[in-house]
Amino acid sequence: MAFDQTKGNVRVEARVFPAPGQRFKGALRVAVTRRDKQIQRITERGCGRPVRSLAAAMTLAELEARRLLGLGLS
């Protein structure tokens, strides 16, 4: 996990999971805190296709995580 950031009550982590064919797929873990409950979900949507390189998958996941939080490419 290379990207883990919180903005308001939303926490986003970029992760990489193995995919079929010796490839890797980026994914996001989103945790939202409402009142006293924490709701978590893992989504692979928007993180690109499975790629051969672990670093490339992490880059795609990190870009999507930044977009989700509205941080841009800084």
The amino acid occupying position 1 is: M
Beta bridge partners of 26: 16
- List the chain domain ranges: 3-69
Segment 25-69, tens digit of pLDDT: 998 988 999 888 989 988 877 788 899 999 999 999 988 888 888
pTM above 0.95, yes or no: no
Q: Is the pLDDT of residue 23 over 90?
A: yes
Quick one: pLDDT at residue 74?
44
User: Based on C-alpha coordinates, what's the Rg of the chain?
Assistant: 13
Q: Tokens 């409950």, residue?
A: 37
Local confidence band at 3 (pLDDT 50, 70, 90 cut-offs): confident
Determine which helix (DSSP H) or strand (DSSP E) holds 67, and give its type and residue range: helix 54-69
